[in-house]
Every structure is written in structure tokens, then in C-alpha cells.
Amino acid sequence: MWPQDLKLYHAPSSPNSRRVRIYLAEKGLELTLVPVDLAAKEQFSDAYKAINPRSVVPALVLSDGTAIGEVPAIWRYLEESFPDPPLLGIDPMDKALVTMWERRAELEGFAAVMEGVRNAAAGLKGRAISGPHGYEQIPALVDRSRLRVMDFYADLDRRLTEVPFVAGERFSAADITALVTIDFAANAMKLPVDDGRGAVWRWYREVSSRASAKA
């Protein structure tokens, strides 16, 4: 199997798509990229729903037509198929730590930003939760989301006073999710990391200077 045999359906503005694009760039993989126009609601078209019934991006389509959705699942397939450089850990303990810290970054940071954005954006009325079903916005959740993001920054800062990267000594998928979370919060919620988080800023300057961060 060759990377060019794979198709990644993505959207340039989608933070989840960016998580996969950064991962691909770190691996040096060039897949066929197929853009999905979210503004035009192309994700709800019959053609795209045949690929991903959840009507979200990204989705990875294999050469036999098998479609894989959800960022961790896409990462897992690519890691098993193209193991170097490893981004999901190098041994049982390291793999567990990467999974744990990436999961925390997603649940405590990324999901909090997504909640805040989707419950505030005028263009997402009736679409407060991504996926095939419609849900009304709950504006009261926005303030809680902002608090959750600030708590995430504080927790991340404490972690990064102990280790150079989120999961430990090496750059990993946990750093990808944390980086995308911070950029997502700064751009979509106007909620950047505050100046007092020196460990986060030390780490952020390093990871955001990697070529992959532009993906």
C-alpha cells in the first residue's frame, strides 16, 4: 500500500482535520486530499454521508473503499501502516501515556473549546453538537466552556513544568491535540494562553515552529 492510495476528506477550517494534517506532515506522508466545503454544508450531502454517516470531517478512505472516521482511529490506522516516526508511543508504557495525555487534551481542552464555539456561533443555530442530529444551542454553556479552557491551560502549564512535551520526552499525538486546541481557542473564542503560563509558552513556541504546524 502506498500513501497516495489513501484519500483524506477534510476541511481547511476544521480543527479536527488539522489534527490529521499535522500528523501526516510529521510522518512525511502525502495522501490525496479531498476538500469538503462545510460552509456549503457539503458534509450533509448524500455523497459524503455515504462515506461518513456522521456528516463530520475528517474521514480516511482506503484503497478498497473502507472509510475510517474519528481522529484517533485515523491516527491508529496510519501509525500501524507507516510506523516511522512513531507518534503514538514506542513501547507499552509510552503508548499508554500518549493515549492518556492525548485523551485528556481532547476531553479537557479541545472538547471545551468546541462546546463554547458551537453554543455561541450564530451560524451553528440548531447544530450545537456536531454529527448527524440537530441540537439547539445552550448559551449558558459558553461561560462554563471558557472556564474549562482556562483550567486546561493551568493544568497543561503544570504538566509542562515537569516534561518537555505533553506525554513526556518526545513529541507525540498529545502535542498535536494540545497545539490545535490552543490555536482553536485563540482564534474561535478569542481566548489565548495568558502571559503567566511560562511552561505552556515555552512548549508552544517549540511545537508551533515545527514545519508540520502549518498543515
pLDDT tens digit string along 34-66? Answer: 999 999 999 999 999 999 999 999 999 999 999
Over range 61-88, report the average pLDDT. 97
- Mean of the per-residue pLDDT values for the chain? 97
Residue 173 has pLDDT above 80, yes or no: yes
Residue 113 has pLDDT above 80, yes or no: yes
pLDDT of residue 78: 98
Over range 66-72, report the average pLDDT. 98
pLDDT of residue 1: 63
CB-count burial class (<10 Å; 0-12, 13-18, 19+) for 39:
exposed
pLDDT of residue 3: 82
Given pLDDT bands bounded at 50, 70 and 90, which one contains residue 18?
A: very high
Q: All domains of the chain, ordered by start, with CATH? A: 3-81 (3.40.30.10), 92-214 (1.20.1050.10)
Over range 109-127, report the average pLDDT. 96
Nearest CA to 59 out of 35, 39, 40, 83 is that of 35
Given pLDDT bands bounded at 50, 70 and 90, which one contains residue 4?
A: confident
Q: What stretch of H or E contains 160?
A: helix 140-160
Tell me the pLDDT tens digit for each residue of 176-203: 999 999 999 999 999 999 999 999 999 9
This prediction's pTM: 0.97
**Rounded CA gap, 16 and 120, in Å?**
19
Nearest CA to 180 out of 51, 7, 26, 6 is that of 26
